[in-house]
């Protein structure tokens, strides 16, 4: 496949962030006077951005902006404590230096950049589009289209890589190919049913399709 631009999701694709997300959610629930949630319940709520995550995991009688503000503050200070890159990610990034790479995630941009910097992989990416970078977030294709336009890369030479049906839907809406990575946070059956163009066991398989 003649790919010049590779767009990566972050949570569940490049990095296992669920432990730090769970800690931040439970800190927010404690702030709101609620008992902690288990990891499976939190994992199922990840993917649509911070606001949706709070709406799904922290029932609150007042405006969602209040627990959201606490969550962003706490998570922003604790986003790289237990988070780890998935196996093979540093090697894959080194092997794809001849392509443009960017992040298109629903995680807030500032926190996304902080995680990339914590693992010294930020220099690999020409852009980081977060869930708060533009008025719309995935599955809207705005982030994908913005990076393509900024660097003058056509859809035929762009590949979106993610772990969820949200990434597949965003890629479809942008008219670009999509590689789905199993083993992230999405239900494996749901990822298969979304019918990505390529289904990878892990990110090391990306090199076989480029």
- The alpha carbons of the chain give a radius of gyration, in whole angstroms, of 17
Return all residues near 142 (Cβ < 8 A) that are at least 6 apart: 134, 135, 136
- Residue 11 DSSP symbol: B
9 is a catalytic site residue:
yes
Report CA-CA distances (Å) from 50 to 22, 43, 74: 12, 13, 12
Q: Pick the catalytic residue: 9, 11, 20, 167?
A: 9
Question: How many Å apart are CA 159 and CA 4, to the nearest integer?
Answer: 8
On whether the CB atoms of residues 197 and 174 are closer than 8 A, the answer is no
Q: How far, in Å, CA of 161 to CA of 69, rounded?
A: 30
Residues 166, 186: Cα–Cα separation, whole Å: 9
99 exposure class (CB count in 10 Å sphere: 0-12, 13-18, 19+): middle
| Residues with a known catalytic role | 9
């Amino acid at each position: 496949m003649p790919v010049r631009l590779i767009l990566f999701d972050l949570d569940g694709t490049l990095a296992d962030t669920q432990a730090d997300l769970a800690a931040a959610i439970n800190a927010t629930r404690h702030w709101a006077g609620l008992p902690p949630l288990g990891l499976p319940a939190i994992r199922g709520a990840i993917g649509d951005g911070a606001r949706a995550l709070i709406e799904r995991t922290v029932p609150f009688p007042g405006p969602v902006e209040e627990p959201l503000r606490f969550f962003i503050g706490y998570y922003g200070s604790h986003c790289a404590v237990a988070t780890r890159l998935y196996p093979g990610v540093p090697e894959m990034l080194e092997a794809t230096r001849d392509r443009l790479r960017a992040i298109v995630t629903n995680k807030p941009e500032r926190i996304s950049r902080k995680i990339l910097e914590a693992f010294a992989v930020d220099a690999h990416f020409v852009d980081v589009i977060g869930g708060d970078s533009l008025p719309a977030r995935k599955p809207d294709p705005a982030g994908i289209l913005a990076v393509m336009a900024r660097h003058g890369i056509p859809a035929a030479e762009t590949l979106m890589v993610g772990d969820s049906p949200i990434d597949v839907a965003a890629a479809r809406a942008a008219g670009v190919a999509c590689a789905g990575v199993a083993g992230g946070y999405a239900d494996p059956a749901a990822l298969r049913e979304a019918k990505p163009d390529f289904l990878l066991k892990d990110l090391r398989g990306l090199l076989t399709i480029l």
